[in-house]
Amino acid sequence: METNLCSASCSTVNSAGVLSASAVFNATTDFSVENGKTLMKLTKLVVILMVLLCCHWAIAQPSITLQPKNASASLGGTARFTVSVSSDPTNAPITFQWWFKEATLDAVANPSAATYRLSLTNVTLAEIGPYCVVVGDLSGSVTSQVAALTWIPRSPRSPKDRS
């Protein structure tokens, strides 16, 4: 038997939320009478399953439903960034990895770096800057928008307060 499987494709959800999927295949066959129909049906079934699997993965990737927002903190204060996501439960578990500038945050030093809510305590000037989070599950990952941590300078004390 000779089979030429030209293409199987799946496109993602368009702006209107409609999934477009197509399976196009041409089969050149040289079947014997006994198994010709069986093999052709099997080829078609494989193509259909490939398209369905492709489309499932295209839809099921995690989606950020609430982006992290900019935050401000004074030196020694606390700042928090939060992200909300939706994901197909069959693709669990959902993972989170927060980033600062161009490096991942250490989840051992700060366990919240691997959760939906990053908490920074005792903020220093070195922690001021851009943060984002990569959210993943078994189907893939997505990166959030950047949120900035800014510094709130303390107002200078008046001469009366210094004495």
1-24: per-residue pLDDT in tens? 333 322 333 333 333 333 333 333
Mean pLDDT of all residues in 121-133: 97
Mean pLDDT of all residues in 123-132: 97
Judge if the upstream peptide bond of residue 111 is cis by omega within 30 degrees of 0. no
123 and 49 within one domain: no
The DSSP bridge pattern shows strands 63-66 and 84-86 to be antiparallel
CATH of the domain at 146: 2.60.40.10
129 and 94 within one domain: yes
Which residues, in sequence order, are CB contacts of 88 under 8 Å at separation 6+?
59, 60, 137, 139
93 and 72 within one domain: yes
Question: The pTM is what?
Answer: 0.61
Q: What are phi and psi of 96, to 5 degrees?
A: -130, 140
159 lies in some domain? no
Domain containing residue 38: 7-60
Helix (H) or strand (E) holding 52: helix 36-60
47-102: per-residue pLDDT in tens? 444 444 444 445 568 999 999 999 999 999 999 999 999 999 889 999 999 999 99
133 and 93 within one domain: yes
Look at the chain and report how many structural domains it folds into: 2
